Structures are given as C-alpha cells and as structure tokens.
Amino acid sequence: MHEVQKQYKALTELAKTTELRSSAVADQLAHLCSEAAKFAEELTIEEVNSKVSGKRYGVLRRAADGKRSRPINLDRYDAKLAEEFLDTRGLADIEDLKTDERGCLLYSMVMSFCAANDILKSGDQKSPGTFFEIFVGHLFSAKYELDPMKHIQVLNLDADSKLPTDFIFDLGPEKSKIHLPIKLSTRERVVQVWAHQRVLDGVFGTERFKGVLVILAETNYQGKDNSVVEVCLPKQWAVYQMFIARMFRVYYLDVPDKYRELGKLYPFIQVRDFADFFDEADKIVGPPETL
C-alpha cells in the first residue's frame, strides 16, 4: 500500500472517533495532502484541449504505466506550493493568506489527493468524495469552533423522523444555522440539495438554516478528442432557486464562469470561490444583509 493510501486510511479512521475540528484531524489532513503533493510532483503534467474559455487544463500521468488523473486546472494547481506550505505550516494558517493565494493552495491540496488516488486506485470514486467531505467539514468546524451533526430531527405527527444531510452546524439561538452539503460535482442529484433546504425551511422557517453548498469542480474529460469541458446547468439551478428553496452560498474550488454569472441575474444565486468563505464566515451566520 502506498503512503498516500496509508495516510488516507488513517484519516478516515480518525474522523470516526475524533472531533472533526480537532488539531489531530488537521494534522492528519496535512500529512495526507503533503504526501499526495509529493507523489503528484513525481508525475508528468500533460496539457489537454480545453474547451473551457479562459482556462487551461491538464492531467497528471505516471510514466511507468500511463495511468492518468482527472482534469486539473493548470492555472490554479501547484503541488510544490501545497507541499512547502504543509511542511512548514498547518491548516489553521490558511486564513492568514491573501484570498487568491488561499484559493490556489486549497485547490492544490485537494487535487493532489484526488489525482494521486486516481492513479493509485483506478475507478475509485468513493475515496475522493470522503476525503473532500472531511477536508471541507474540518475547515468549517475549525472556523466556527463547533462539530457538525449529520442528521436533524424534523416534525412528524406519526413517527420519529430524521433528515439525513451532509453536515448541520448549530451555532445557537442568536445565529443562523448552516446546512452544508459537500460534493465533488453536481451533475447527479443536485436537486436533492435544494430539496433538503426546502424541508428545513418548511419545518424551522425561512433562513433559520443558511444553505451553503461546497463543490470541487464541474470538469469532464472526453477521451475521444483529449479534451475537457465544464458541464453546467445554470437554467436548471435558477428554477430550483426560484421554486424549491434558496441556497445562501455556493462555493467552488474551481468556479465555472456560467455559475458565477448567476449572481448577476434573478434569482441571484451567489456562486463564489471557496477561498472567500474565510472572509465572510461571520456574514453567513449573522443578520441578513441590508441595503
């Protein structure tokens, strides 16, 4: 078993028994991302045909067997940056960086693991998703100094019912609570995010829970012409936002421009870089914005 896989196994076992916000989880995430970045640095970067305007994409390839990773945004990815940062500092120091540098660092950490896992364990979709959930969950937990719940009691006259979610953060009666779904991409079942938010709004009142969706990217590699596209459904999202529920924020580590533009037109879905979360965490749980 490769060291990256060993560190991933240690992380998942630790996350089952330790508070997500703990320094132990932070240290293990740092160890894993550092090992993944070192592994990624040994791979060859091959640029592919990007059909995404204004973005360059490539894949990491292992020379020994030709195995390739998922698409990587070459303008945001820097394995050396991730390795050097994690070898000298910790996840708690990410907030000290300027927003642009923070965004590149976060993306590089996550994509280093995802790319390494693509090559070390072909066809494994579960591990990157689990890793990303722990990664984002820890950063939220550490920021709010609170561990999340993974389900919440909902009203039902005839039975004891619970709504399963990714994470719920309850910061007390004087602040908004957070509904935090986390996804590698939204091409499948994204309507579930808005549906869960609708249930929370219906049971507890509108904006008692702020919906915050965190996504890695929407890239799709097409082998027939060695190209990368972004699969986006902005009109569908607008319908969900208008007729199902309202998500307060959508964060990406690699933001599709088609989704970023949703913030300019009704129903005004605010899609931003995940790096921005650290600058506006208080706004999410605070009073509504005023003109």
- pLDDT, one tens digit per residue, over 111-144 is 999 999 999 998 898 999 999 999 999 999 999 9
Contacts of 106 (CB under 8 A, 6+ apart): 94, 253, 274, 275
CA-closest candidate to residue 207, choices 289, 271, 130: 289
- What was the pLDDT predicted at 288? 73
Q: Average pLDDT for consecutive 10-residue bins of the chain (291 residues)?
A: 95 96 97 96 96 96 93 96 92 94 97 97 92 98 94 63 80 93 89 93 90 97 94 96 97 97 96 97 83 41
Residue 154, beta-bridge partner list: 161
E strands of the chain, at which residues?
A: 44-47, 49-50, 57-61, 72-73, 149-154, 161-169, 177-180, 182-183, 209-215, 219-222, 227-230, 249-252, 271-273
Give the SS3 label for residue 284: helix
The DSSP-derived string for 62-109 is -TTT--B---EETTT--HHHHHHHHHHS-GGGGGGS-HHHHHHHHHHH
Residue 155 has a pLDDT of: 60
Distance, C-alpha 123 to centroid of its chain: 20
Angle of helix 234-243 versus helix 191-204 axis, rounded to 10: 10
Phi, psi of 179 (to 5 degrees): -105, 115
Instruction: Kindly list the structural domains of the chain, giving each domain's residue range(s) and its CATH number in brackets, ordered by start.
Output: 3-143 (no CATH), 146-285 (3.40.91.80)
For the stretch 175-219, pLDDT in tens is: 999 999 999 999 768 999 999 999 999 988 988 999 999 999 999
- pLDDT of 151 reads 75
Residue whose pair of structure tokens reads 């599709």 in the numeric block: 256
At which residue do the structure tokens 């990714």 appear?
166
pLDDT at 160: 58
pTM: 0.95
Residue 65 has what pLDDT? 92
Note the pLDDT of residue 281.
Answer: 96
Angstrom distance (rounded) from CA 189 to CA 9: 28
